[in-house]
Chains A and B, each alone.
Chain A
Amino acid sequence: MTRTFPTPAQDTENRMKTKEYIRPMPATWFLHNRHLVVYAIRELTSFFVTGYAIFLILVLARTNHSKSDFRAFYESVLRSRASLIVHLIVLAFVVFHSTTSFNGMARVLVVRRGEERVSPTLIAILNYGAWLVVSVLIFVGVIVFK
């Protein structure tokens, strides 16, 4: 049996047939750098925002039952210590979500005043100011008109 060797052209072609390199990306990639950890926490806040939106549907649905049903829900769920703890945890993540959104908006939003770009810091300050005003107005509105 005679052994055949590839021609130089075939040899080059064979060596060129390599697989596309896909950089391995471990699932823990975000633990390698502090900025990535902050990024990962920011992304994690989306679960809390979504979860709380679903919880609000449940709260609203409870108002479509009788008032005694709603009272029972208020006493057993909203007045429980577990609810307070969960609400404080959700609040912490949602506030973090708000701050990263305000900072992000300030960087992304390009506002010009004449020829000059309005400083992102000023836009961020305006975002925080508007957030404070809206929150205080709602809080006072709820307390005063309850």
Chain B
Amino acid sequence: MTVVTLNAPQFVDTKPLLTVRNVCKSYGDVRALRDVSAAVYPGEVLGIVGESGSGKSTFLRCLNLEEVPDAGSYSLDLPDVQGNLFDLDRYARRMLCATQIGIVYQNPHLGLLMNHSSSGNVAERLLVAGERSFHVLRDKARDALDASEFPLERMDAPPIELSGGMQQRVQLAKAIALEPALLLLDEPTTGLDVSVQALVLDTLKRLQQERQITMVIVSHDLGVIQTLSDRVMVMRHGQVVEQGLVDQVFQDPQHSYTQQLVHAKL
């Protein structure tokens, strides 16, 4: 592979919101992440593609501070957030995640309490961040559910009673309730039928444009990545094999693995 080195940004003078350097993570003999580095600019959407086991979900869990890597650094360019986030203690990590990082999992069970009300699930986020007034909690939860296009007449229904698409909306509402700087999405539309998938994609795109949320989205669906992302990172065997503008990576893939991936697209 010919490695093309691009210049440093010349016109865009904002600093990346998220900077990750040389992250490594092993599970026993399995090297899940090898020297993964990435930078995401404010308002940008970074897509991550790769086959199952390529390390993309592990990487996302590291960004959500659920997973502490063996090596590497992670910083967010935000007021009052300093240093390597992997070094934070559990409490500081929890506060940072509650206030600045939202996540939507493929499996709603990971992100939601399935037997509590949907509005309660969203409000929990706000409680962790210190909000105590019942009315404020309820109003903010309602606003977030509304922004995620969740039908408000069902806001007190527990997720267990809702369809998959609705559960994703509750997760999204919970993720954006505190207007996080960073939204992480792990296969947010996988397993949904196409019409529901379109609804979720449209909601994400609209939120991204209206609120300029910085997003990192992991999906094996190249169509989803193409619709949402500005740039894409291709992972294989725990390594980044290629990254670039989404149209460039899909139209002119450089690495042999990316070529295979693009040729396999329907």
B is a partner of A: no
Binding site for B on A (CB under 8 A): none
